[in-house]
Structure 1
Amino acid sequence: MKRFLRRAGLVLLVVLLGCGLFVLAARSGWLRPDDKDLRARYGLSGSQYVTIGGQELHLVEEGSGPAVILVHGSYGSLRMWNEWADRLKRRYRVIRFDRPGMGLSGPNGDARYDGDAEAELIGKLADHLKLTRFTLVGTSSSGEGAAHFAALHPERIDAVILANIAAGPLVMHPQQRSAMFKVAAMVDPWLKGWHSQALWRGVLETNYVDKAKVTPELVREWTELNNRTQGWPRKPWPSGKPFSGTPDDLAAIKAPTLLLWSDRDPETPVEVDGRRALALLASTDKALVTIPDCGHMMPQECGPQSAVAAATFLDRLHFGETKP
């Protein structure tokens, strides 16, 4: 019995030592992936790495025709729009970029990631690309900056598409979490900004309806791209709370606007945020279209279906067509 207890104690000591070394490595940034490897793994054939107004951006342009700028949601990357780009580039000049502090873009030099900063960047990007007018698309948190730009610069906007945005201060709704996600979330604060694959799998599965689409490859992508930004500073929103100005911005948008909403969005439910956004919009050409069997990360989980809805809307405006 004593020999067994000694061995058990030795095993426990080794396990504790291993856990301690792992936490130290994570907190120290030793597990952060290499940028060169990430560009090789997650860059696209058309990837450009440019500096616009002092901001390093990962940018992709495809197709020709009326310009469309796609802005992805929190913790994602321009890869979220792959299926939208495949559909829209047949008739449009499709522009997408990694938001500052996400994907393969660099940090914001002033550590600002609020809606004002993102609206400023959209304007600088449009100037850099010599765009006079364009359609602006935002999903989830990028709806704040997209709506703000559209409200401030109506002369540059052909149309607006907003998907699963917060139509006012975000109210978090209780969500069912797996046991593994709960454990990962409990351990996460100890890792000083480094996040495990278990945590990102939980985030994705919570926001997906079809859990089978949360593949190991997708989990690895989100884990590696987000751990790239470990330790980058972030200033708080000037207003103290994200999306507080979005209602005023929606009320100022008069351009044709399509609201795309997932019917099973756990973060910004269509019954709350979708209906409110539709009521707030000043546009006389506006519609709320629901994508069935879809969660919060619409362009990533339900790319083909939502891209068809966006193309139908844009084809009507630009080419007078009404068929998908």
Structure 2
Amino acid sequence: MNRKLCLTTLLLMLAGASAPLSGLADQFADQRLTLDELRQKYGDPDGRIAEIGGVEVYYKDQGEGPAILMIHGSRSSLRTWDRVAPELLDRYRVVRYDLPPNGLSGPVSDEAVDRMEPADLAAGLLDHVGLEQVTCVGVSSGGTTCMYLAATYPDRVNRLIMSNSPSDPVTTDHVNHPPAFKAALEEFVETGFESENFINLFLDFYSGDPRRISEQTRREYYDFNRRVKEPNPIAMIGLVADHEKTRKAMASVRAPALLIWGGRDALLIPASAGTLARYLENTQVSTVFMPDVGHYPPLESPVRFAQIVAAYLEAATPAGFD
């Protein structure tokens, strides 16, 4: 696989794009799931739907106490936090949501794209659930969305926790994909369909230890990523494609920040945490490395991740916040 193809594919995956690069995806129409089918299969009594800016947002609001907003990465869902949230609910109120049009959230119209950005959607959800201020926790591009929320609505974020989130436009010069994963990537680029084999190889590659990724998680990733194609698949994803805009936003963040970094991330290597910390130049930044974990710490080591979050929240007293 040449570098151009690899980079294009990687950006599509990180952005959560479901549109194919060719016209062949219709051959998989019978294997795709509609939003109604996904809601029937994965909806549960704790789930709620809010209309934010004309977009249906599926969310969960559980627990009592200081509030935490959790934002998942691209190509994922609020289920990223299924084994993290329960570890915190005895002390905290945890709100998490599916970034539209991922998970069980609705599609994003052109009008919605014109009306709001990812941070506006997050702020709208906070309004809906009656929260003035939160700790925002995000993994991968979800951390980028948290950063934009802290930059755009500084009074609403008292602490920022980012896990394996990009600081610059993603490059793949350093990434060495195994042959089987390369072949699966090429097939994905050709067809636009993410097969079970592709999902499994993807999760294996971006894990520190693939054995930690449960069969249930693998099935959920497969199901949610074979959803019928939606318009504007990446509009509500926090991206760093505009380097100047991102650097300016990071420099404006004042909320104290914690970086939780999986040290075996093949894409965002440990040095990436240092770069991100430098870009958050006007706030206090702490970093905790999880050396045996890959790109998705909440999936691989949820209890340990929750313990780190709780320890930080219990120890930190940000200046200017009660």
For the criterion TM > 0.5, the same-fold answer is yes
- In 2, the alpha carbon distance for the partners of 1:243 and 1:84 equals 31
* SS of equivalent to 2:316: helix
Alpha-carbon offset, residue 313 of structure 1? 0.8
* SS of equivalent to 2:225: helix
CA contact (8 A) 1:73 1:141 kept: yes
- In 2, the alpha carbon distance for the partners of 1:113 and 1:103 equals 18
Instruction: Give me the identity figure in percent.
Output: 30
- In 2, the alpha carbon distance for the partners of 1:142 and 1:232 equals 20
Q: Which AA in structure 2 matches 1:195? A: E
The aligned counterpart of 2:18 is: none
Alpha-carbon offset, residue 88 of structure 1? 1.6
* SS of equivalent to 2:137: strand
- In 2, the alpha carbon distance for the partners of 1:312 and 1:215 equals 26
Cα deviation code 1:4-37 (max 9, x no counterpart): xxxxxxxxxxxxxxxxxxx978536222124344
Verify: 1:285 aligned to 2:284, yes or no: yes
Residues 225-236 of structure 1 mapped to structure 2, 5 A cutoff: 225-234=224-233
Residues 261-300 of structure 1 mapped to structure 2, 5 A cutoff: 261-271=261-271, 273-300=272-299
Alpha-carbon offset, residue 236 of structure 1? 7.8
Cα deviation code 1:136-162 (max 9, x no counterpart): 112111222221120122112211111
Alpha-carbon offset, residue 299 of structure 1? 1.0
* SS of equivalent to 2:135: strand
CA contact (8 A) 2:55 2:112 kept: no
Distance change in 2, residues 1:283/1:257 (3 Å): farther
- In 1, the alpha carbon distance for the partners of 2:283 and 2:199 equals 40
Verify: 1:217 aligned to 2:216, yes or no: yes
The aligned counterpart of 2:313 is: 314
The aligned counterpart of 2:38 is: 38
CA contact (8 A) 2:85 2:94 kept: yes
Q: Which AA in structure 2 matches 1:258? A: L
The aligned counterpart of 1:14 is: none
Cα deviation code 1:149-205 (max 9, x no counterpart): 2012211221111111111222224434344333322322343x3221111111111
Q: Which AA in structure 1 matches 2:170? A: L
| Contiguous gaps of at least 5 residues in structure 1 | 1-22, 320-324
- In 2, the alpha carbon distance for the partners of 1:106 and 1:281 equals 33
Q: May I ask how many residue pairs the two structures share in their alignment?
A: 292
Q: Which AA in structure 2 matches 1:56? A: E
The aligned counterpart of 1:124 is: 124
Verify: 1:54 aligned to 2:43, yes or no: no
CA contact (8 A) 1:68 1:136 kept: yes
Alpha-carbon offset, residue 65 of structure 1? 0.8
* SS of equivalent to 2:64: coil
Cα deviation code 1:254-292 (max 9, x no counterpart): 112111111111111121x20012122245432011112
Q: Which AA in structure 2 matches 1:307? A: A
CA contact (8 A) 1:48 1:58 kept: yes
| Contiguous gaps of at least 5 residues in structure 2 | 1-22
The aligned counterpart of 1:205 is: 204
CA contact (8 A) 1:101 1:229 kept: no
Alpha-carbon offset, residue 228 of structure 1? 0.7
- In 2, the alpha carbon distance for the partners of 1:60 and 1:92 equals 13
CA contact (8 A) 2:50 2:125 kept: no
CA contact (8 A) 2:54 2:112 kept: no
The aligned counterpart of 1:301 is: 300
Residues 24-173 of structure 1 mapped to structure 2, 5 A cutoff: 26-27=26-27, 29-110=29-110, 117-173=117-173
Moved more, 101-110 or 55-64: 101-110
Alpha-carbon offset, residue 104 of structure 1? 1.2
Q: Which AA in structure 2 matches 1:294? A: V
Distance change in 2, residues 1:111/1:267 (3 Å): farther
Distance change in 2, residues 1:29/1:167 (3 Å): same
CA contact (8 A) 1:163 1:260 kept: yes
* SS of equivalent to 2:287: strand
Alpha-carbon offset, residue 214 of structure 1? 3.4
Moved more, 217-226 or 175-184: 175-184
* SS of equivalent to 1:187: helix
The aligned counterpart of 2:182 is: 182
Distance change in 2, residues 1:128/1:259 (3 Å): same
CA contact (8 A) 2:261 2:290 kept: yes
CA contact (8 A) 2:200 2:218 kept: yes
The aligned counterpart of 1:242 is: 241
- In 2, the alpha carbon distance for the partners of 1:207 and 1:53 equals 34
| Structure 1 runs, 4 residues or longer, greater than 6 Å off | 111-114
RMSD: 2.7
- In 1, the alpha carbon distance for the partners of 2:137 and 2:215 equals 28
- In 1, the alpha carbon distance for the partners of 2:48 and 2:315 equals 31
CA contact (8 A) 1:144 1:243 kept: no
Moved more, 228-237 or 39-48: 228-237
- Higher RCO (C-alpha 8 Å, min separation 6): 2
